[in-house]
């Protein structure tokens, strides 16, 4: 079988402009939501109120124990009914694949970002928190102005590493027939009967982008003396 480069030359712009744009949009939004929710979960896990800490720990452990593709299907079919229940509608609300996927990835990745942020918060010497409280700052002010900014800087390479994993995991929305990068390439492959060429193109693009991001992570680690 001859490898047809022409099918890649004809379609790579369309696949990148439509599919990769969708993939990057979903990745960035899920990362932002996941970091925010993950930080709140980390604070809850470190809370002195035991029921809150146990509830947050149960959520994190449950999510990390369930396959992501199962969570994607679960939310895709469940969210319309939850939305209908929230607004009192009789019929399921048409949420759409994009919003279902965004909610899924945000909630799923929050469990992983939670553990990263928890480690970052615990790496800050307790003396800084006590010093800030001695200056009259409340607990949440200490966290927002003293502890969390340092934790974010310390954990930035690890957060970026987890975001690379998220970027790769977004390809799973293909199972919902969402036109992400893999989905857009698959349509061209099925249309032209060139599966090997298009999936090879997808693999090369993912490899190049993930390698570039991994190099950025290594530079950040070296800049912070983390090896």
The residues spanned by each domain of the chain are 21-180
Q: What is the pLDDT of residues 146-193, one digit of tens each?
A: 899 998 888 999 999 999 999 999 999 988 888 899 999 999 998 888
Give pTM, 2 decimals: 0.89
Mean local confidence (pLDDT), 16-41: 94
Residues of the chain above pLDDT 90, percent: 52
Residue 97 has pLDDT above 70, yes or no: yes
Q: What is the pLDDT of residues 47-58, one digit of tens each?
A: 889 999 999 999
Contacts of 51 (CB under 8 A, 6+ apart): none
Q: What size, in residues, is the chain?
A: 227
Q: At what angle do helices 21-45 and 97-123 cross, to 10 degrees?
A: 40
Q: What is the CATH number of domain 21-180?
A: 1.10.3720.10
What CA–CA distance (Å, rounded) separates 79 from 72?
A: 11
Q: Where are the alpha helices (DSSP H) in the chain?
A: 5-14, 21-45, 50-64, 68-87, 97-123, 126-134, 139-142, 148-169, 181-192, 195-223
Residue 227 has pLDDT above 60, yes or no: no
């Amino acid at each position: 079988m001859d490898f047809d480069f022409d099918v890649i030359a004809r379609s790579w712009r369309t696949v990148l402009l439509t599919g990769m744009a969708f993939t990057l949009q979903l990745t960035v939004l899920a990362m932002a939501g996941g970091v925010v929710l993950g930080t709140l979960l980390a604070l809850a896990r470190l809370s002195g109120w035991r029921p809150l800490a146990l509830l947050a720990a149960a959520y994190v452990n449950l999510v990390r124990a369930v396959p992501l593709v199962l969570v994607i299907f679960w939310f895709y079919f469940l969210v319309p009914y939850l939305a209908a229940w929230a607004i009192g509608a009789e019929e399921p609300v048409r949420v759409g694949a994009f919003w279902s996927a965004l909610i899924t990835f945000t909630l799923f990745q929050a469990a992983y970002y939670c553990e990263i942020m928890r480690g970052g918060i615990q790496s800050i010497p307790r003396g800084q928190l006590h010093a800030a409280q001695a200056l009259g700052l409340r607990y949440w002010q200490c966290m927002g102005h003293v502890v969390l900014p340092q934790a974010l800087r310390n954990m930035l390479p690890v957060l970026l590493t987890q975001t690379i994993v998220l970027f790769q995991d977004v390809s799973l929305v293909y199972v919902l027939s969402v036109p992400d990068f893999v989905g857009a390439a698959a349509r061209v492959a099925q249309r032209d009967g060139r599966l090997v060429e298009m999936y090879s193109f997808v693999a090369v693009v993912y490899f190049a982008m993930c390698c570039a991001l991994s190099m950025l992570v290594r530079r950040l680690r070296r800049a912070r003396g983390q090896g």
